[in-house]
Amino acid sequence: MSGRHAVAHDPRPNVLLLVTDDQTLHDLAVMPNVQGMIGGQGATFANSFANNPLCCPARASVLTGQYSHNHGVLTNATAAGGGFPAFDDSSTL
């Protein structure tokens, strides 16, 4: 069986979201191939913002479409309502 016949056509777009942590513009300077693929074949945002300065709550907001006080991930720490344990993936987009 050929692979082209094994997959049904899906009209939905194929989206891949890459998220990095603690990466500066200087870090990309040593990865020109990656920088070229992201800029040349992907999407870059010249003017954007995060709804929370902490990475765990901000990422949970991207995945759920909700603000931190609604999805419950309030900190990066696993204690006190934060981190991955606080993330409820049943409410993701």
Domain boundaries, the chain: 50-88
Q: What would the pLDDT profile of 15-70 be if each residue is shown by its tens digit? A: 777 777 777 778 878 888 887 887 777 777 778 788 888 888 888 888 888 898 88
Residues 6+ apart with CB under 8 A from 80: 74
Maximum separation of any 2 CA atoms in the chain, in Å = 53
Q: What is the DSSP letter of 82?
A: B
Distance CA 79, CA 83 (A): 8
**pTM given for the model:** 0.62
Distance CA 21, CA 54 (A): 11
Which residues are catalytic, by number? 55
